[in-house]
Amino acid sequence: MIDSYGFNRTTIYKWFDQALRSRAGVAALGATVGTGRPRVLTPKQEQQRLRWVDGRDARQYGLDFGRWTRAVVADLIERTFGLRPSVTSVGALLARLGLSPQKPLQRAYQRDAQAIERWQHEHYPRIAAQARHDGAEILFWNESGFRADAGQGKTHDRVGGRLWGVRG
């Protein structure tokens, strides 16, 4: 009969043994929820991590690299609390906090909106007029397929949120 439930024949003997040894009897065979490994950080510490990462550049915390990778967050947790979580558990923590790995927008964080406006309305029209006069063609580096700011990797940010590279 145990075969009809898809269990091995010896499984029922383990169940009998467990029920007989326990004071709870057959109730000892009830389903239990697996708890998994305990969390390294308290909920308060987890929320502090969210405030670190959400909308901020890792360089603001003295780190050399501006992206929030799981390894960078693990290092910061270790420096702050003396606890070393695994990279996998940091990924789970970031997901619980509503952060996901995302590719940052390719926009310089030090860009100057006024300088861009000046270039578009003052400098470029003069250059374009000179090029027309000389019969020249204007090419832009970004149209050539080369990148001066090739960003490698991803960073963590709120799901559907704006990345740190375009804020403020």
> 78, 45 in Cβ contact below 8 A?
no
Query: pLDDT tens digit string along 97-141?
Result: 888 887 665 666 677 888 889 989 999 999 999 999 999 888 776
Gap between the Cα atoms of 77 and 9, Å rounded = 48
The pLDDT mean for the chain works out to 76
- Which tokens in the block code for residue 131? 């090029």
Tell me which amino acid residue 30 is.
Answer: G
Query: pLDDT tens digit string along 6-36?
Result: 888 788 788 788 778 777 777 777 777 777 7
Gap between the Cα atoms of 150 and 105, Å rounded = 11
Structure confidence at residue 153 (pLDDT): 63
Gap between the Cα atoms of 88 and 25, Å rounded = 39
Report whether pLDDT(159) > 60.
Answer: yes
Domain boundaries, the chain: 1-32, 43-107+149-166, 113-144
Gap between the Cα atoms of 97 and 102, Å rounded = 15
Half-sphere exposure of 133 (CA within 13 A, CB side): 6
Output the CA torsion sign for 62, 65, 69, 74: negative
Share of the chain above pLDDT 70, in %: 76
